[in-house]
Amino acid sequence: DADVTQTPRNRITKTGKRIMLECSQTKGHDRMYWYRQDPGLGLRLIYYSFDVKDINKGEISDGYSVSRQAQAKFSLSLESAIPNQTALYFCATSDRGTITDTQYFGPGTRLTVL
Amino acid sequence: GQNIDQPTEMTATEGAIVQINCTYQTSGFNGLFWYQQHAGEAPTFLSYNVLDGLEEKGRFSSFLSRSKGYSYLLLKELQMKDSASYLCAGDYYGQNFVFGPGTRLSVLP
């Protein structure tokens, strides 16, 4: 079984709809992240959480919100989706206890906003 | 923000050697990651360099020069399955990782 899972894997929605992307992990890591990936722009950080009570904005948080329901779950919401939020979204985890803080990525959610 | 630069695309031949370069801003720099990402898939960890020099891991090696703000990923004995994007990411003190745009490598027969 995958250590980091994301649901849904693909989603097509319309402008103005509320969307929630979910991430779960079985790695026991404290830190969780949400990124979006656009062609030619690389991975950009949306939000990150270092533990259940610690939520922080990343580089591009406008239009997004998150919820850390438990150590293993981190959800990303688009309150009112717009077409330029069409992208590939990745959740990632890392372990505070390691020196390198390597990130482990989920399989991604491809979101299309019409 | 911290700028991470790498070439957008590269092409190489099966069996050859290819070097993918990455430059980064040195202020606040801690270390540098390389990830591999096949099309439509998640990035996977390749290497992390914090000290100057070359670290070898099988067919893949990664080099870092802290004073020059420069790193490269060296892929030897290229295989078709090495066709992927290679992401360079800077680890900065007090910040989260900053990813470059990625280099899409095409390996031709």
| Residue A81 clears pLDDT 60, i.e. is over it | yes
At residue A113, the pLDDT reads 97
Q: Which residues contact B83 (CB under 8 A, 6 or more apart)?
A: B38, B105, B106, B107
Confidence at A100, pLDDT banded by 50, 70, 90:
low
Quote the Cα angle for B62-B8-B80, to 5°: 65
**A57 Cβ under 8 Å from any chain B Cβ:** no
pLDDT in tens, A3-22: 999 999 999 999 999 999 99
Using alpha carbons, select from A58, A59, A55 the residue that is nearest to residue A75. A55
Mean pLDDT rounded to a whole number for chain A: 92
Q: Encode pLDDT of A26-74 as tens digits.
A: 999 999 999 999 987 789 999 999 889 999 999 899 999 999 999 999 9
Percent pLDDT > 70 in chain A is 93
**Partner-chain contact A107 B41, CB within 8 Å:** yes
Q: Are A18 and A80 in contact (CB under 8 A)?
A: yes
Contact A104 B100 (CB under 8 A): no
Task: Count how many pairs of residues, chain A against chain B, have C-beta atoms within 8 Å.
Answer: 42
Q: What is the pLDDT, as a whole number, of residue B1? A: 53
Q: What is the mean pLDDT of each run of 10 residues along chain B (109 residues)?
A: 86 97 93 94 93 94 96 98 96 83 95
pLDDT of residue A2: 67
C-alpha closest to that of B99 among A72, A80, A35: A35
Residue A21 vs residues A25, A88, A112, B81: alpha-carbon distances, Å: 14, 11, 13, 30
Cα A37 to Cα A20, A27, B27, distances in angstroms = 17, 23, 25
Q: What's the pLDDT at A99?
A: 60
Residue B3 has a pLDDT of 84
Strand partners, A110: A10, A88
DSSP annotation of B44 reads E
**What pLDDT sits at residue A96?**
66
- What is the pLDDT at residue B34? 96
B window 52-71, beta carbon within 8 A of A: none
Q: Is the pLDDT of residue A1 over 90?
A: no
pLDDT (average), residues A82-89:
96
